[in-house]
Chain A
Amino acid sequence: MSAIKPKHQRLVLLVVALAVLIGAGLLAAYALSTQASYFYVPSDLVAKPPEQGRAVRLGGMVERGSIKTMPDGVTINFMVGDGKARVPVRFRGITPELFVEGSGVVAEGRMEGPTFVADNLLAKHDEKYVPREMKDMSKAQAKAVIAETK
């Protein structure tokens, strides 16, 4: 409750500010390592599945002929594949306009049992004609995807 010793005030302020900022940095680093959602392609998801319920993103091609609407009219099931593996995805909601069979999609959600439950589907609207993550798929993967989705 008393005034800080004059000589040290700046030092004290500096130490407090640094401590808070370093604390913020550490906290952020910890939270990022636990809360950031990793990007998977179907073959990775099958090979090394993330723990159940953890938020991740899944990117791949919507297989042709795989979109099935459930009786409630708002839940859809479909397969996302990358040529090597395929993952069943369930989504409840209104699909984005660019979401069509045979094109790329990024689904945000989590694994529940063997199914990927998506909260959100991203089919990008900007000039990136496929989600950027998909651009890095190897040629072989892309080839297989296309062969498969035919």
Chain B
Amino acid sequence: MSDPRDPAPKNPGTKKPGLAMWLPLGLFAAFFVLVIWGLVRPANREVESAFIGKPLPAFDLPPASDDRPGLNTTVFSGKPRLLNVFASWCVPCAVESPQLAALAQQGVEIDGVAIRDRKDDVARFLAQNGNPFARIGKDDLSKVQLAIGSSGVPETFVIDGKGVIRYQHIGDIRPEDVPLILRKLAEAGS
């Protein structure tokens, strides 16, 4: 049952095809190399990692809403906190609001930085999507945003009790990202 019934034919016609039969494998190998490169390509990752482990620069931002104080560097002592960079004009920021609310409900303290925003827009945004923030700073020139290595909204930073950036999450926080952020907070607290 196991012996091949067809003996390998030895006719002259098969000599050249023999090599060509390896062509598909060669093409596949080329494809493979290309996508491996595509997967490991640095993209934006250096920028985001460059700031991890660095202390927050000193800043003092005025309040961006009437019912929350502004934000300055001194609050980042004691417990690890989240720093959420957002804007009222950014749709993914609204999408992530349930996740921020969930984090706040679990006792995580979240501070916000509103980028290039107007006070009444922020107020409307918070009224619509909930306000998980303890403090909200108004960053009109994106100074703080750039100083902490954030290039878009939303982004969320884990800051430990000594004011050091421990983790940077780029893009909106999805429900599946919440455990990771909680873990990073726990790591930052230990």
Contact = CB atoms under 8 A, between A and B. Distances in A.
**In the complex, are there CB atoms of A and B closer than 8 Å?**
yes
A135 interface: yes
Please tell me the size bucket of the interface on B: 20 to 34
A29 interface: no
A100 B89 CA distance: 8
Interface string B88-119: 01111000000000000000000000001000
Contact of A139 (B13, B16, B146): B146
Contacts of B152: 104, 129-130, 135
Interface in B110-158: 116, 140-142, 145-146, 151-154
B151 A150 contact: no
A3 to B, nearest CB: 15
B39 interface: no
Please tell me the size bucket of the interface on A: 20 to 34
B69 to A, nearest CB: 24
A146 B13 contact: no
B44 interface: yes
A12 B171 CA distance: 55
Given A129-B152, A129-B172, A146-B146, A102 B44 contact: no
Contacts, number: 65
B47 interface: yes
Contacts of B74: none
Nearest to B15: A11
A36 interface: no
B12 A150 contact: no
A10 B90 contact: no
B171 A128 contact: yes
Contacts of B47: 139
B43 interface: yes
Nearest to B146: A143
Contacts of A150: 116, 140-142
Contact of B92 (A129, A135, A146): A129
A94 B12 CA distance: 65
A9 to B, nearest CB: 8
Interface of A: 7-8, 10-11, 14, 18, 97-98, 100, 102-104, 127-130, 132, 135-137, 139, 142-143, 146-147, 149-150
Shortest beta-carbon contacts, A-B, top 9: A146-B142, A135-B44, A130-B152, A129-B92, A129-B171, A11-B13, A129-B152, A127-B171, A142-B151
Interface of B: 11-14, 16-17, 20, 23, 43-44, 47, 89-92, 116, 140-142, 145-146, 151-154, 170-172, 174
Given A129-B92, A135-B44, 8 more contacts: A18-B20, A127-B92, A129-B152, A129-B171, A135-B43, A142-B146, A146-B146, A150-B140
